[in-house]
Amino acid sequence: MSNHPIYSRRWLWGLLLMASPLVAMFISLAAGDLSLSLQDLTSILLQGPGQQIEQVIIWQVRLPRALLAGLVGAALSLSGVTFQAVLRNPLADPYLLGVSGGAALGAVAALTCGLHSPIIVPLAAFVGALTALFLVYLVAQAHTCSSHTLILAGVMVGSLAAALLLFLLWRAPTDATRQAIFWLAGNLSLADPDWLVWGWLWLITGFLILWGQSFHLDLLTQGEETAADLGLDVGKTRLILFVVAGALTACAVALAGLIGFVGLVIPHICRLLWGPSHRMLIPFSALLGGSFLMVADAIARTLYAPAEIPVGVVTALLGAPFFLYLLRKKGGGL
């Protein structure tokens, strides 16, 4: 196809990407305080759930956790892809845009009011996420949307949300605060099976809608005016995309707190390997995003085992330097 070395091997990369969730799942199941060999792991998986200590660890602790990590990673990465296309800005990411912050504020507001339900918390997060997104978008539209304005607006909305959040936590009882702070730093251990099912349903729905919109996403990367010239109903499409991406962010935040940079790093890598066409970018970002977070979680659990680092710390340690590198390479003046 092309003389570009990476581009011509895109099918190979595609196959590797398809296999990545399986590999990541194995790593995630095997790694931890009790580390298992591939053989042990396979035999435990084949035995099915049971009362033995290894069986309990794998089936009741690690598997739900791996599924949660996959879900959250995929959701964040999908919303990252969407924001980058709609805002025409490869540096956009739910965390940097303050959307995650808004979602966290919504979720904590619901939690401190004592509404601990798998429907209400994500809904509150969703409202928070859309409010933050709306604010950022308002600023970005007023100033013909330069890269810097957008990110700055996002950071400001994020800090506003963080300030309100701290205020809520300051008023809440102490043990609730402690728990909330741990959750905010990105935590995948609260996996309640009910929440997990809801989350996966939400993710699959969102994914299918976004995939269906992939050609629209391509058009939107050319700018709203051009997209309209080419016959796209920009207002309606943008609304759908913002709502779906906001919902995915909200879902991820409600389940696992603030995990940054997944939505930035993963779409970038996929674009490098696969080009920017969303028909491929959407499914592969979802796959790689899920895999990435499963591995990041495995690292978070093993590095100081038996203690665990919040997974948000790991993704930020990997993602922030990557962001700085992109900013330097492209001068931010995208």
Partner 1 sequence: MIQVSNLSFSFGKQPLFSKLNFSVKQGEIFSIIGPNGCGKSTLLRLLRGQLKSNTGEVRWNNIPLDQISTKAMARQVAIVPQSATLTFPYTVRELVTMGRYPHRKNLLRFHTRTDLDAIEKALTLADILPLADRYVTQLSGGEQQRVLLARALAQNSAVLFLDEATSHLDIDHKLELTELLVQLNQKQQTTVVQISHDLDLAAAISHRILLIAADGEIVAIGKPEEVITKENLCQLFRFDIEITQNPLTGTPQVTPRLKTSPRQPPFQQI
Q: By CB under 8 A, is residue 332 in contact with partner 1? A: no
Task: Pick out residues in 44-103 that bind partner 1 (CB under 8 A).
Answer: 88-90
Q: By CB under 8 A, is residue 233 in contact with partner 1? A: yes
Distance (Å, rounded) from C-alpha 2 to C-alpha 12?
Answer: 15
Size of the site for partner 1 (CB under 8 A): 29
Distance (Å, rounded) from C-alpha 253 to C-alpha 122?
Answer: 8
Closer residue to partner 1 (CB): 65 or 271: 271
Distance (Å, rounded) from C-alpha 187 to C-alpha 209?
Answer: 27
Shortest distance, position 82 Cβ to partner 1, whole Å: 14
DSSP 238-252: HHHHHHHHHHHHHHH
Instruction: Give ∠ CA 304-307-310 in degrees, rounded to 5.
Output: 90
Shortest distance, position 85 Cβ to partner 1, whole Å: 8
Q: By CB under 8 A, is residue 334 in contact with partner 1? A: yes
Shortest distance, position 7 Cβ to partner 1, whole Å: 8
Other beta carbons within 10 Å of 172: 17
Distance (Å, rounded) from C-alpha 288 to C-alpha 3?
Answer: 25
* Single-letter amino acid code for the residue at 213: Q
Q: By CB under 8 A, is residue 194 in contact with partner 1? A: no
Task: Pick out residues in 3-32 that bind partner 1 (CB under 8 A).
Answer: 4
Q: Which pair of tokens denotes residue 112?
A: 């401190």
Task: Pick out residues in 209-228 that bind partner 1 (CB under 8 A).
Answer: 212-216, 218-219, 221-223, 225-226, 228
* Single-letter amino acid code for the residue at 11: W
Task: Report the interface residues with partner 1, using CB under 8 A.
Answer: 1-2, 4, 88-90, 212-216, 218-219, 221-223, 225-226, 228-233, 271, 275-277, 334
